[in-house]
């Protein structure tokens, strides 16, 4: 006799509920050792509402259809020499940064969700995390495939996974995810599912992917929108976890609020890289970072926090600083890379006169006052044959690991913001009140930070000479992958292809 | 406050402890109102270094790319060490002046306020 075919509802129940079992001879607490140490109180896991209402067979079907379309576009892009259709070869440097800084984060997200997918006592939360882990692994793969085509034609794509573990500026995204992954399971979900996915990935995947479209990069657009359709599901997980925690026990509120404060601050620091990609690295620009921030953080995020107010949640701490920083961070971040363009794995450049005017128009209150003079001096130095590469090594923030470049938003945006804390007789430096608070809350954690500059000076990165650090420890092709775009092999090849050599 | 961790009494390794720098200390130096340099810079220095030598070598090499640098009147420079004013002589050693590991030395050059007075 043929087995009775299950309807979708039964399949879903079997997947999300009947995979759990009672522990008859082991203490359930021993099976889920990570569930309590953060102080989160769960009184009833059965109250968990599954945000991923998908059965496995429906999931495979949707994703395989998406994959087929995605790979058809990748093939067409490769066969039609899609690299020749980008707006300007400078654009490809944004993709180099994406491949080295963002794609490994997808892999870290996969590892993080696979881990927490084991750690919750509630089967619904375990299944949701496992399914997201599969999504994240797929994102890594499609991003690598989309960008691999550029590796045939441009410098800087050769060793991205090695670079992610070692290169100074990649410590910023790497440490962000390692901080989340080395926290407890609830903090991980709050950090990544809620703070990062719910509000901040919109800023990465929506306006940046529109930027890819504007610059003729159809492969990136395709993976971006394919990933974003998964992100919509991931955001519902983010929202579910926070509502679930707040409804379970009132004692969870202060812990959750502290995590929101921490992870929104860390997120804004991480996204300063995306800000500079939008304002400086897209030759055809879609919207300014400030406009994107207003649309996706202030409007969308503001509405979310209004919803959460009934649980007692307030806006992230230092929101008023974050609001002011939207005028500054993209310019400050690109200036770091212009300063250290000899130690980056991609090219940097002075914006064209038209781009400077666009920035003045988009940032009327700040650009001409604080940032245009930097480019005027840089242009003057370049004209004198002294393209400015900053000598020596920068001071880094102990928490976000960005060079200490951010300025005082309240008192004087022309003054670098220095914060300091002592812990067990050692001095530590942070870039802001936000990072300072994060350090002071868990100094034992951040005192362990692997700060690239300090590691170089300890001799742990292939010796004291910068060229050896770059070529042997980072595995960059010095002189091809780095330095100014002007005069680079990338530029020369492009000019040959376009008959401009 | 102890770290909240799964293992009781968890302790991490302090990677930047003074002992890891071979007898030297890290010193950060930043030049206010000169944002051509995107941040303060990190130097590895011996505590026995005299202040005059710090000025002549690491500080010079770190900051002489700025067109203001050659116009600095060193007698009028204002020094700030870890948030407090400092009045160094060239003969003092870093140790005598109160430098310790990961000290931040800032300097201000009144009248020299960056490219065309813009703080850059």
pLDDT at residue A1, rounded to an integer? 62
Q: Domain for residue A238, yes or no? A: yes
In-domain check, residue A317: yes
Note whether residue A16 is domain-resident.
no
User: Cβ separation of A395 and B30 shorter than 8 Å?
Assistant: yes
- Tell me whether residues A332 and B38 touch, CB distance under 8 A: yes
Helix H or strand E encompassing B81? strand B78-81
Whether A17 is covered by a domain: the verdict is no
Is residue A23 in some structural domain? no
Instruction: Tell me: pLDDT of B1 over 60.
Output: no
CATH of domain B18-103: 3.10.20.560
Question: Do residues A474 and A456 make contact, with C-beta atoms less than 8 angstroms apart?
Answer: no
Model pLDDT for residues A114-124, shown as the tens digit of each residue: 999 999 999 99
Is A9 within a domain? no
Residue from B11, B18, B42, B57 whose CB has the most chain A CBs within 10 Å, to mutate: B42
The total of structural domains in chain A comes to 1
Q: Which of A184, A429, A441 sits opposite B28 (nearest CB)?
A: A429
Q: What is the per-residue pLDDT across A129-145, written as a single tens digit (0 to 9) for each?
A: 999 999 999 999 999 99
* Nearest CB neighbour to A392, from listed B6, B62, B106: B62
Q: Return the pLDDT at A228.
A: 82
| CATH number of the structural domain spanning residue A402 | 1.10.620.20
Higher pLDDT, A209 or B77: B77
Domain membership of residue A10 (yes or no) is no
Question: Taking Cα atoms as reference points, which of A494, A459, A488 lies closest to residue A473?
Answer: A459
pLDDT at A379 over 80: yes
Domain carrying residue A170: 55-498
How far off is chain A from B14, nearest CA to CA, in Å? 5
Among all residues of chain B, which has the CA nearest to that of A374? Answer: B120
pLDDT tens per residue across span A97-120: 999 999 999 999 999 999 999 999
Task: State the DSSP string of A231-243.
Answer: HHHHHHHHHHHHH
Q: What is the average pLDDT across A319-344?
A: 97
What is the model's pLDDT at position B2? 56
Residues of A in contact with B67 (CB under 8 A): 377
**Is residue A34 domain-resident?**
no
Asked whether this complex has an ipTM greater than 0.90, the answer is: yes
CA nearest to A345, candidates A106, A164, A148: A164
Give me the residue from A33, A448, A454 closest to B6, CB to CB: A33
Q: Which of A34, A390, A447 sits opposite B6 (nearest CB)?
A: A34
Rounded to a whole number of angstroms, the distance from the CA of B34 to the nearest CA of chain A is 9
| Helix, strand, coil tally for chain B in percent (to 5) | 20, 20, 55
- Alpha-carbon distances of A322 from A57, A265, A271, A319, A334, rounded to whole Å: 43, 8, 12, 5, 18
- Coil, strand, or helix at residue A20? coil
With beta carbons under 8 A apart, name residues in chain B contacting A30: none
Smallest CA–CA separation between A454 and chain B, in Å? 7
Q: In chain B, which residues have their Cβ closer than 8 Å to the Cβ of A459? A: 22
Query: How far apart (Å, rounded) are the C-alpha atoms in residues A356 and A372?
Result: 7
């Amino acid at each position: 006799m043929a087995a009775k075919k299950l309807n979708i509802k039964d399949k879903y129940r079997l997947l999300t509920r009947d995979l759990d079992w009672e522990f008859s001879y082991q203490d359930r607490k021993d099976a889920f050792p990570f569930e309590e140490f953060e102080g989160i109180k769960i009184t009833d896991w059965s109250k968990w509402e599954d945000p991923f209402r998908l059965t496995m067979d429906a999931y495979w079907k949707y994703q395989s259809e998406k994959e087929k379309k995605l790979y058809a576009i990748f093939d067409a892009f490769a066969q039609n020499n899609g690299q020749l259709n980008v707006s300007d070869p400078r654009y490809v440097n944004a993709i180099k940064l994406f491949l080295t800084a963002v794609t490994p984060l997808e892999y870290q997200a996969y590892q993080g969700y696979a881990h927490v997918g084991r750690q919750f006592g509630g089967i619904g939360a375990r299944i949701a995390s496992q399914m997201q882990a599969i999504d994240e692994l797929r994102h890594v793969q499609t991003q690598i495939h989309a960008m691999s085509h550029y590796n045939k034609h441009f410098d800087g794509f050769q060793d991205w996974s090695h670079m992610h573990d070692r290169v100074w500026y990649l410590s910023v995204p790497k440490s962000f995810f390692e901080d989340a992954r080395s926290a407890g399971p609830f903090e991980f979900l709050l950090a990544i599912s809620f703070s990062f996915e719910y509000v901040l990935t919109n800023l990465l995947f929506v306006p940046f992917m529109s930027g890819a479209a504007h610059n003729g990069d159809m492969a990136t657009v395709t993976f971006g929108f394919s990933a974003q359709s998964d992100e919509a599901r991931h955001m519902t997980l983010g929202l579910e976890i926070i509502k679930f925690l707040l409804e379970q026990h009132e004692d969870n509120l202060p812990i959750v609020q502290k995590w929101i404060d921490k992870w929104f601050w860390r997120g804004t620091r991480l996204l300063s890289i995306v800000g500079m990609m939008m304002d400086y690295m897209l030759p055809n620009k879609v919207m300014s970072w400030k406009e994107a921030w207003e649309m996706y953080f202030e409007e969308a995020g503001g509405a979310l926090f209004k919803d959460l107010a009934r649980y007692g949640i307030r806006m992230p701490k230092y929101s008023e600083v974050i609001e002011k920083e939207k005028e500054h961070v993209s310019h400050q971040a690109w200036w770091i890379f212009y300063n250290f363009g000899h130690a980056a794995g991609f090219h940097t450049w002075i914006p064209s006169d038209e781009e400077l005017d666009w920035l003045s128009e988009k940032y009327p209150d700040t650009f001409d006052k604080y940032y245009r003079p930097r480019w005027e001096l840089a242009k003057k130095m370049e004209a004198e044959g002294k393209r400015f590469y900053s000598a020596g090594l920068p001071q880094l923030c102990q928490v976000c690991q960005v060079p200490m470049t951010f300025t005082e938003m309240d008192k004087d945006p022309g003054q670098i913001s220095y914060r300091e804390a002592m812990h067990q007789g050692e001095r530590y430096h942070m870039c802001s009140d936000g990072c300072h608070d994060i350090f002071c809350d868990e100094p034992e954690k951040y005192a362990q930070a692997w700060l690239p500059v300090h590691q170089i000076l300890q001799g742990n990165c292939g010796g004291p000479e910068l060229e050896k650090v770059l070529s042997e420890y980072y595995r960059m092709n010095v002189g091809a992958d780095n330095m100014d775009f002007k005069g680079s092999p990338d530029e020369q090849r492009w000019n040959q292809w376009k008959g401009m050599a | 406050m102890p770290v909240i961790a799964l293992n009781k009494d968890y302790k991490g390794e302090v990677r930047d402890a003074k002992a890891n720098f071979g007898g030297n200390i890290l010193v950060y130096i930043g030049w206010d109102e000169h944002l051509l340099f995107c941040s303060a810079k990190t130097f590895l220095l011996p505590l026995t270094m005299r202040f005059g030598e710090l000025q002549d070598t690491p500080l010079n090499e770190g900051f002489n790319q700025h067109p203001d640098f050659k116009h600095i009147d060193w007698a009028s420079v204002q020094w700030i060490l870890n948030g407090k004013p400092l009045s160094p002589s060239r003969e003092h050693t870093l140790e005598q002046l109160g430098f310790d590991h990961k000290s931040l030395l800032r300097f201000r050059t009144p009248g020299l306020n960056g490219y065309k007075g813009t703080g850059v």
